A = this chain, B = another copy of it.
Amino acid sequence: MHTREHSLGEIAVRFGLVLRGDPAVRVSHVATLSNAGPGALSFLANSRYRRNLESTRAAAVVLSEEDASSCKVAALVGLNPYLEYARIAAVLHPGAAVLPGIHPSAVVGAAAQVAASAMVSAQAVIEDGAEVGDGVFVGPGCLIQRNARIGADSRLDARVTVYSNTRMGRRCIVHAGAVIGSDGFGFARDGAAWVKVPQVGGVLIGDDVEIGANTTIDRGAIGDTVIEDGVKLDNQIQVAHNVTIGEHTAIAACTGISGSTTIGKRCMIAGMVGFAGHLSIADDVVVTGLSLVSASIRKAGSYSSGIPIEETRVWRRIVAQLRRLGRTTRASRTGIG
């Protein structure tokens, strides 16, 4: 990461914060309260860490009015310190610059449309009919297939696969190894065998979407899989064909969403949650980790079915008791074991 120096005075003005300290002091990078040294900007957004505030050697700390009195170094006082920290950190640690041009090892189809301000990195492939917008970063080894479209200022980190019929909005970020637009899992029975159902839809992705490393998003069977504006997907998430994810919903790693399920806006889904197919999930729903969502959710709220661990010997007793709950008759079970 590149870093740049900025004075506290400049930061206070730019981000609308109240500065308690010397406006000429300069910061060059971010650090945690406990690891900060000279030139470091830190933040306090969780009162659990307030004890670290007293001993911090940071040059300045972004924090709330409530915590400011305990701060012995320069304080940048705001209403939402974590948000304000995020914005300052982006200034101190800007991402790698997008240097317009196409690396000589990249393979770009003669009929591909790549904006002059876009950067296409080594070993990338952009097929005929693909469109790459202004300021887009196409990282090493990325593939953009024919007729796919990448909106302005989006960033495909490395080894991202974008299949045909994907339309991605502006300012999206896609991390390494993600696959967007692979065939959905659709088969019709033909006796014992399966016949592939052609997957002819696409993927429609809004603006400001972030997609994690090795996450997979299937194209629609007919019609599109839809990821609305501002959705944030962590690593190794699976999004099946014809799913819709509503704007500003955030989903943690390893969650899987089956086909044709619609998730509402502003939902927060934890990791390793499984959604069955053809469900409808309301706006503002929270689902905690390792839960199974097998029916639609009609109202906002928090939902769970993950069971916290016990010591294994205790857990075995619980499972034995659970099994007893299922025995309404004395019929012996013969299928398992």
Contact with B along A298-310 (1 / 0, CB 8 A): 1101111111111
Contacting pair B296 A323 (CB below 8 A): no
CA of A133 to CA of B294 in the docked complex: distance in angstroms? 43
Nearest B-chain residue to A208, judged by Cβ: B193
Does any Cβ of B come within 8 Å of A87's Cβ?
yes
Known A-B contacts A214-B216, A318-B325; the reply to A198 vs B248 at CB < 8 A is no
A148 to chain B, nearest CB (A): 12
Question: Which segment, of A17-25, A63-71, A153-161, faces chain B?
Answer: A153-161
CA of A30 to CA of B177 in the docked complex: distance in angstroms? 31
A9 to chain B, nearest CB (A): 22
Known A-B contacts A89-B200, A93-B200, A312-B303; the reply to A182 vs B213 at CB < 8 A is yes
A310 to chain B, nearest CB (A): 6
Contacting pair A198 B234 (CB below 8 A): no
Contacting pair B176 A163 (CB below 8 A): yes
Contact with B along A260-273 (1 / 0, CB 8 A): 00000110000110
A317 neighbours in B (Cβ, 8 Å): 325-326, 328
Contacting pair A143 B143 (CB below 8 A): no
Known A-B contacts A175-B179, A175-B183, A325-B317; the reply to A193 vs B310 at CB < 8 A is no
CA of A216 to CA of B237 in the docked complex: distance in angstroms? 12
A272 neighbours in B (Cβ, 8 Å): 256, 272, 274
Residue picked from A31, A165, A173, A200, most chain B C-beta under 10 Å: A200
Nearest B-chain residue to A33, judged by Cβ: B222
Taken together, the copies of this chain in the complex come to: 3
Contacting pair A256 B236 (CB below 8 A): yes
Contacting pair A198 B308 (CB below 8 A): no
Segment 126-149 of A: residues with Cβ below 8 Å from B: 140-141, 143, 145
Does any Cβ of B come within 8 Å of A252's Cβ?
yes
Segment 239-280 of A: residues with Cβ below 8 Å from B: 240, 247-248, 250, 252-254, 256, 258, 265-266, 271-272, 274, 276
Contacting pair A196 B216 (CB below 8 A): no
A307 neighbours in B (Cβ, 8 Å): 292, 305, 307, 319, 322
Known A-B contacts A307-B319, A336-B303; the reply to A86 vs B195 at CB < 8 A is yes
Does any Cβ of B come within 8 Å of A1's Cβ?
yes
Contacting pair B299 A334 (CB below 8 A): yes
Contacting pair A85 B309 (CB below 8 A): no
Nearest B-chain residue to A192, judged by Cβ: B248
Contact of A323 among B92, B274, B276, B310 (CB under 8 A): B310
Does any Cβ of B come within 8 Å of A39's Cβ?
no
Where the two chains meet, the residues of A that have a C-beta atom closer than 8 Å to any C-beta of B are 1, 29-32, 35, 80, 82-83, 85-87, 89-90, 92-93, 103, 105, 107, 121-123, 125, 140-141, 143, 145, 157-159, 161, 163-165, 173, 175-177, 179, 182-183, 185, 187-190, 192-198, 200, 208, 210, 212-214, 216, 218, 222-223, 230, 232, 234-236, 238, 240, 247-248, 250, 252-254, 256, 258, 265-266, 271-272, 274, 276, 286-299, 301-319, 321-323, 325-328, 333-337
